[in-house]
Amino acid sequence: DTGVSQDPRHKITKRGQNVTFRCDPISEHNRLYWYRQTLGQGPEFLTYFQNEAQLEKSRLLSDRFSAERPKGSFSTLEIQRTEQGDSAMYLCASSLVAMGSPYEQYFGPGTRLTVT
């Protein structure tokens, strides 16, 4: 078990540029979640996948945001035409959901995005 990994750990971009983040979940986990955390706040849910299906998206996820999990393994989160308000820590988590499993989500270290 190598844990949830995220890449890159830090990203600085100029307003208007597109960025893409990657998340690799714990290998046997079938669910993958994306959250966003701004300074002084708790993480806020963005979206989640079960295997390759995207099952829920938050209203926070505007049209500029898109997430994929093409083969039910790693996931990408893309932000198009970044805005300064997108500056935040983007967190990925994974969990194993099955009969009798406890639902806890395991988090990666996050990708800190700074939009200048």
Partner 1 sequence: AQSVTQLDSHVSVSEGTPVLLRCNYSSSYSPSLFWYVQHPNKGLQLLLKYTSAATLVKGINGFEAEFKKSETSFHLTKPSAHMSDAAEYFCVVTRYGNKLVFGAGTILRVKS
**What mask, x for binding partner 1 by CB under 8 A, covers residues 12 to 41?**
-------------------x-x-x----xx
The span of 12-20, 22-30, 65-73, 103-111 binding partner 1 (CB under 8 A) equals: 103-111
Q: Round the CA-based radius of gyration of the chain to a whole number and report it.
A: 14
Q: Which two structure tokens, joined as six digits, stand for 40? A: 């002084």
Looking at the DSSP assignment, which residues form a beta bridge with residue 11?
113
Q: Which is nearer to partner 1, 21 or 48 (CB)?
A: 48
C-alpha span between 61 and 42 (Å, rounded): 17
Q: Which is nearer to partner 1, 66 or 112 (CB)?
A: 112
Looking at the DSSP assignment, which residues form a beta bridge with residue 57?
47
Among 19, 95, 111, 113, interactor with partner 1 by CB under 8 A: 95
Give the DSSP H/E element, type plus range, for residue 48: strand 44-50
Residue 104 touches partner 1, criterion: CB under 8 A: yes
